[in-house]
Amino acid sequence: MELTPALQEKLQKLKVKYQATGQDLDSYLDGLLYADYLTYWDYIHLDTLFSLQTPKTSFPDEHIFIMYHQITELYFKMCLHEFKQIAHNKSIDKKFFLARLTRINRYFENLIRSFDVMVDGMEPPQFMKFRMSLLPASGFQSAQYRMIEICATDFINLVSTEMRDKFRANPEATYEEMIEQIYWGRGATEMASGEKTYTLKQFEEKYSEELISLAKEFKTKNLWKIYKSFPKDDQNDQSLIQGLRLLDISVNINWPLAHYKSAVRYLQKDPEDIKATGGTNWQKYLPPRFQKRIFYPELWSDEELNNWGKGWVETEVFKVNWHPK
């Protein structure tokens, strides 16, 4: 083989690279000689990935339930990767911000479009049975879902609506105090006793500390704060505003409604079904028109804020056929 000038230049660059860390190019070339070729299955750890579906029952549809949750968590991870890229870019500009925001919106669009895999893709009688073997676990315990919210907006917007003014009036309020009044606490309260469910207690034990430290880190780096750090002209750019509005609708209306559709499809209101959700009042908690979680209230008109989540509920969710008893 001819040692062309281009090849020699490459070798020289490699030599410099390894010398800089006191290492020897020759040994690395030996390593290259003996190393196996990389394969697709090793690179993406396919065998490990396929070993992660371990149903608790022998109902075939439980596989679908597990895999779709895993797919969703991977998409959530992709979203968080983009939030972090935005937060950690020291010389961020409008173009970089918009490109990453568009990626997040695209991931959520895929999740919303694909939710029918849950809504229509399993047999309800199978679901109702295997769901009982999974208690007290719930998608409610998805920490990445909460992390996305923390990265997207000011933490105060995640506090229960009726408590927000109190915290706004008190600049000394800590994250530890605010997380006690976080909106999701309302979704994991037992209807009968008003106590926190065990599902919530377990979640808090594992994740509260991590979520509080993320909230502190993203106090000045969440998507809203980065957007507000741009010059006024950039803030007025319609593509940025539309991108943020789309994210707000996707995370706070369309995904929750697609998800709610599956709860409506599979969970009835009789006592057995209530048991299957740990006794939570999900009908009053999951629909976005009750919760009014809104990341960017400044980007919506009063009318839009007042009608948050209403149109879609009426037009879509109630078209779903309730399965016969």
308 binding ligand HEM? (CB under 6 A) = no
Q: Does 87 bind ligand HEM (CB under 6 A)?
A: no
137: helix, strand or coil = coil
Q: How far, in Å, CA of 31 to CA of 45, rounded?
A: 22
Total binding residues toward ligand HEM, as defined by CB under 6 A: 22
Stretch that binds ligand HEM, among 28-36, 39-47, 50-58, 138-146 (CB under 6 A): 138-146
Q: How far is the CB of 33 from ligand HEM (least distance, A)?
A: 46
Q: Decide: helix, strand or coil at residue 185.
A: helix
Q: Minimum Å distance from CB 244 to ligand HEM?
A: 20
* Nearest residue (CB) to ligand HEM, 68 versus 97: 68
Between 197 and 222, CB nearer to ligand HEM: 197
Binding segment for ligand HEM (CB under 6 A), chosen from 24-32, 67-75, 153-161, 313-321, is 67-75
Q: How many angstroms separate the CA atoms of 29 and 11, rounded?
A: 10
User: Per-residue x/- marks for ligand HEM, 250-269, CB under 6 A?
Assistant: ------x--x--xx--xx--
Considering only residues 163-202, where is the footprint of ligand HEM by CB under 6 A? 184, 187
Mention every residue, 6+ apart, whose C-beta is less than 8 A from residue 210. 143
| Least CB distance to ligand HEM at residue 282 (A) | 4
CA distance 195 to 197: 6
Among 214, 227, 249, 278, binds ligand HEM (CB under 6 A): 278
Whether omega for the bond prior to residue 287 falls within 30 degrees of 0, making it cis, is no
> Looking at 60, 125, 139, 311, which residue binds ligand HEM (CB under 6 A)?
139
What minimum distance in Å lies between the beta carbon of 35 and ligand HEM? 38
How many residues make up the chain in this entry? Answer: 325
Residues 6+ apart with CB under 8 A from 54: 66
Among 211, 280, 294, 295, binds ligand HEM (CB under 6 A): 280
Nearest Cα residue to 93 out of 266, 194, 240: 240
Minimum distance from residue 319 beta carbon to ligand HEM (Å): 17
DSSP 8-class letter at 221? T
Nearer to ligand HEM, 227 or 280 (CB): 280
Distance in angstroms (rounded) separating the CA atoms of residues 287 and 310: 9
- Please calculate the CA angle 242-247-250 and round it to the nearest 5 degrees: 120
68 binds ligand HEM (CB under 6 A): yes
Q: Which stretches does DSSP call E strand in 76-165?
A: none
67 C-beta neighbours (distance < 10 Å), count: 13
CB of 226 or CB of 267, closer to ligand HEM: 267
Q: In 3D, which of 157, 115, 171 has the Cα closest to residue 316?
A: 115
Residues in contact with ligand HEM by CB under 6 A are 68-69, 72, 118, 138-140, 142, 145, 184, 187, 256, 259, 262-263, 266-267, 277-278, 280, 282, 286
